[in-house]
Amino acid sequence: LLFGCLWLLAAPLVSSIFQRPTGSPAPPHLQYLLEPLHSTVHTQRGATATLPCVLRALPRNYRVKWSKVEPANYGENVIIITNGLYHKNYGPLSPRVHLRHSHRYDASLTITNVALEDEGRYRCQLVNGLDDESVSLTLHLEGVVFPYQPSNGRYKFNYHEAKKACEQQDSRLATYQQLYKAWTEGLDWCNAGWILDGTVHYPIINSREPCGGRLLLPGVRTYGTRDKQKDRFDAFCFTSALQGQVYFIRGHLNFKEAGQACRNHGAAIAKVGQLYSAWKFSQLDRCDGGWLADGSVRYPITIPRERCGGLPDPGVRSFGFPSKELRAYGTYCFVG
């Protein structure tokens, strides 16, 4: 009875000691790693980006392991391992990564000359026996998504051909997040295309009969996962900022002459992804159709006007793939 009375008297004191103040954040679930203030790091191709990972304490005999999460193969690729004194780099990112190490608690990862394939989710894991813990961060590249099909018409690519086609045009297959963001920014395309994870989609802003019907709401419509070898669609490619410049040479050139004109200026005929990048990041605006490396003829419009196609929205307009012998266009060149 005496013990019970003492407990009742002590209860308010116990409550005041262990109760978290109203409005204060929940106690951290991490013992050694600090939760990053921002889980997404925004960057562009060619830039230097740092993914933060800071320790609050240094346990004995610990290691920190950085890896990149690869959802396509359900795995992780190790990038770097450190014990605070020494480190070792692994994989294709090896030449372009190092630890920031601005103080002895800092295990942040710095990536130089960021490439398109660097976008994705990264994990900083503290390895300490039974006390392993980790934080996840996302590297997000600012860029532009564009639909792509070859000269012989729509729905010609299997997955592997679509992946290669994007890479040949200075881009890579878009992720679903990139395609969704492009849709929110106005991408409206009726042809279905492959994206990086092997699924097939198409983004619709204006519902219409040839694109699923008028009754379906706008959105990113999906065909789901398809056979990467047998099924054939277009591609949705993603590119980011250029480390160089795209410019136009006026003339009445066929395709071969267009390539030579660029080489005469110490440049190369521009790829489709390079033209989209110049349109997006350098506001390249020309009303002149020009040859590109894939044999297509296009022109970039940032300020829509009646005499430049008459369409109400900015974009890269296309004349398709005319005969390469036709002398009717200038050329877009790229110099790095």
Task: Encode pLDDT of 148-192 as tens digits.
Answer: 999 999 999 999 999 999 999 999 999 999 999 999 999 999 999
DSSP 263-284: HHTT-EEPPHHHHHHHHHHS--
Question: How much is the pTM?
Answer: 0.84
Q: Which of 183, 214, 239 is the last residue of a domain?
A: 239
Pairing between β-strand 234-240 and β-strand 219-225 as defined by DSSP bridges: unpaired
Structure confidence at residue 18 (pLDDT): 27
311 and 255 belong to one structural domain? yes
In a domain, 324, yes or no: yes
In the chain, % helix, strand, coil (3-state, to 5) comes to 20, 35, 45
Q: What is residue 286's DSSP assignment?
A: -
Asked whether residue 30 carries a pLDDT value surpassing 90, the answer given is: no
254 and 164 belong to one structural domain? no
Residue 151 belongs to domain spanning: 144-239
Task: Encode pLDDT of 285-336 as tens digits.
Answer: 999 999 999 999 999 999 999 989 888 999 999 999 999 999 999 999 999 9
Mean pLDDT calculated for residue range 239-264: 97
User: Based on the structure, what is the number of domains in the chain?
Assistant: 3
166 and 86 belong to one structural domain? no
Q: What is the SS3 assignment for 91?
A: coil
Structure confidence at residue 74 (pLDDT): 66
313 and 263 belong to one structural domain? yes
In a domain, 169, yes or no: yes
Structure confidence at residue 269 (pLDDT): 98
Phi, psi of 7 (to 5 degrees): -65, -40
